Amino acid sequence: MRFSTVNENKIIFACKYRHKSVAINRKKDMSTTILAIESSCDDTSAAVIRDGVLLSNTIASQKVHERYGGVVPELASRSHQQNIIPVVDDALKQANVSVDEIDAVGYTRGPGLLGSLLVGASFAKAFALAKDCKLVEVNHLHGHVLANFIVTPETVGREQAKFPFLCLLVSGGHTQIIIVRDYTSMEIIGTTIDDAAGEAFDKCAKILGLPYPGGPHIDRHAKIGNPNAFQFNKPQIPNLDYSFSGLKTSILYFLQKQVQENQNFIAENIDDICASAQSTIISILLKKLILASKQTGIKDVVIGGGVAANSGLRDAITETGKRLGWRTFLPELRYTTDNAAMIGLAAYHKYLAGEFSTQNVAPRARYSLQEYFAK
Ligand code: KG4
Ligand code: ZN
């Protein structure tokens, strides 16, 4: 693990995986080496994957947005432009792989911020042109699902979920229940009708005066709070769909009332408020996941996306799984939030399936998994 401050934008380089002594098969005809690029939001990331095994995963996180309480798209694009070449260079060096060994470059086509996506897509296309290698477009959500399958040379052969399995995908922009039939075949059976689970965390945190992104801060406070201290409204939504916008309103009204009586209410009760809000979000998520498992009969269950880093959700999924006889699988923490390793794995499986992209494929701010897999 290496951290270094790169420039005045306070971009932190974190080599999430470093392995120098890996025995690399240098015969190109016998192995497939993918360079992956992720730039959909505020993390610039590059990874190298050989034959489905992760060799390196470098991430430059943009700290510049913190002071604005959310991602500023224009600043994100500029930072991606500054970061992309050093990040790719770092990923190749960490993997001990040269540009000439790359068989394909995989990149996030969408969904995400258009300006951010453009930087990654343009780099990927230029690289593919220059090195005359294949180009593979990846849907960001496809990556989040496959994050569960990321293995390094040390973890190859680890037990994994068997197809078909259920994936609860919970990120800053999406909340979906997905039947994963194969590496490149998935069906969404439930989705949010308004806010995503990550948004619920972030909006609650904002009300409480916590920094952006709020999810990890709520998680930290919740660990020492009482989840039953306060009751918040849970939505009554039919089928396997979700709604989180009411929770934010419920918390807002509750706090406004309490603060009128005691100005220090939030400061004095922050741990209990966070624990209660988090436990409400988790119980909403689990209720529909349990229903999905009952309806489909599928008992292999995984989670993915930034909110899959939440310690309460991870514990709750594991506990529920034990109670209901599921086999549950949790992605490694470092692969829950945005990273190129997951994009590389998705690109690898698309490469094996012969699904290549062309130079005239444009990035897409909105890009549903249905559309992506319907092609
Ligand atoms: O997957 P991700 O990195 O980006 C998107 O694709 O949206 O997810 C970001 C989201 C944010 O809403 C962030 O607050 C949330 O993941 N998040 C968490 C935790 N870590 C990140 N939410 C709850 N608990 C966490 N520990
Ligand atoms: Zn994401």
pLDDT tens digits for range 175-186:
999 999 999 999
Q: How far is CA 191 from CA 89, 147, 226, 285, in A?
A: 38, 20, 29, 11
Split at pLDDT 50, 70, 90, the class of 63 is confident
Cβ contact 308:336 at 8 Å: yes
Rounded to an integer, the average pLDDT of 111-134 is: 98
- Predicted local confidence at residue 69, as pLDDT: 83
At residue 371's C-alpha, the angle toward residues 366 and 375, to 5°, is: 135
Query: Is residue 312 pLDDT above 50, yes or no?
Result: yes
- Mean predicted confidence (pLDDT) in 245-259: 96
What does each C-alpha distance from 81 to 26, 59, 103, 138, 207 come to in angstroms?
31, 14, 24, 20, 33
Residue 290 has pLDDT above 70, yes or no: yes
Average pLDDT over residues 259-272: 98
Among 2-16, 98-112, 113-127, 312-326, which is the least confidently predicted range?
2-16
219 lines ligand 1 (CB under 6 A): yes
User: What is the Å distance from ligand 2's center to 196 Cα?
Assistant: 12
DSSP 286-300: HHHHHHHHHHH---E
What digits encode the pLDDT tens for the residues 196-216?
A: 999 999 999 999 999 999 999
- Token pair belonging to 284: 């909403």
Structure confidence at residue 29 as a pLDDT band (50, 70, 90): low
Cα 11 to averaged position of ligand 1 atoms, centre (Å): 19
pLDDT at 206: 95
* Residue 311: φ, ψ to 5°: -65, -35
State the average pLDDT over residues 250-254. 96
* 282, 247 contact by CB (below 8 A): no
Across 306-329, average pLDDT: 98
- Which three-class secondary structure state does DSSP give residue 223? coil
pLDDT at 5 (0 to 100): 32
Measured from the CB, is residue 337 less than 6 Å from ligand 1? yes
Binned at pLDDT 50, 70 and 90, residue 67 comes out as confident
- Ligand located closest to 305 CA: 1
Q: What angle do CA 278, 284, 286 make, to 5 degrees?
A: 100
How many helices (DSSP H) and strands (DSSP E) are in the chain?
Answer: 10, 12
- Residue 104 Cα to ligand 2 midpoint, Å, equals 22
CA torsion angle for 112, 116, 119, 121 (degrees, to 10)? 0
Which ligand neighbours the alpha carbon of 143 most closely? Answer: 2
Instruction: Examine the pLDDT at 28 and tell me if it is beyond 80.
Output: no
Q: How far apart are the first and last CA of the chain?
A: 39
Candidate of 171, 174, 202, 212 to mutate for ligand 1, largest count of ligand atoms within 8 Å of Cβ:
171
Question: Does pLDDT of 50 surpass 80?
Answer: yes
Average pLDDT of the residues in 53-68: 91
Which residue puts its alpha carbon closest to atom 13 of ligand 1? 215
Residue type, 330: L
pTM of the model: 0.92
pLDDT at 9 over 60: no
Tell me if 111 CB under 6 Å of ligand 1. Answer: no
Nearest CA to ligand 1 atom 3: 337
Examine the pLDDT at 325 and tell me if it is beyond 80. yes
Q: Report residue 111's pLDDT band, with 50, 70 and 90 as the boundaries.
A: very high
Q: Which ligand is nearest to the CA of 197?
A: 1
Give the pLDDT confidence score for residue 59 in this predicted structure: 97
The per-residue pLDDT for range 211-245, each reduced to its tens digit, is 999 999 999 999 999 999 999 999 999 999 999 99
Mean pLDDT, rounded, of the chain? 92
Q: Which of 7-11, 41-45, 174-178 has the lowest mean pLDDT?
A: 7-11
The reply to whether ligand 1 has any atom less than 6 angstroms from the CB of 52 is no
- Give the Cα separation of 17 and 91 in Å (integer): 9
**3-state secondary structure at position 338:** coil
Average pLDDT over residues 278-284: 98
CB 310 less than 6 A from any atom of ligand 1: yes
Residue having the nearest C-alpha atom to atom 7 of ligand 1: 172
- Mean pLDDT for 338-344 is 98
- Tell me, using a 6 A CB cutoff, whether residue 202 lines ligand 1: yes
Residue 106, ligand 1, Cβ within 6 A: no
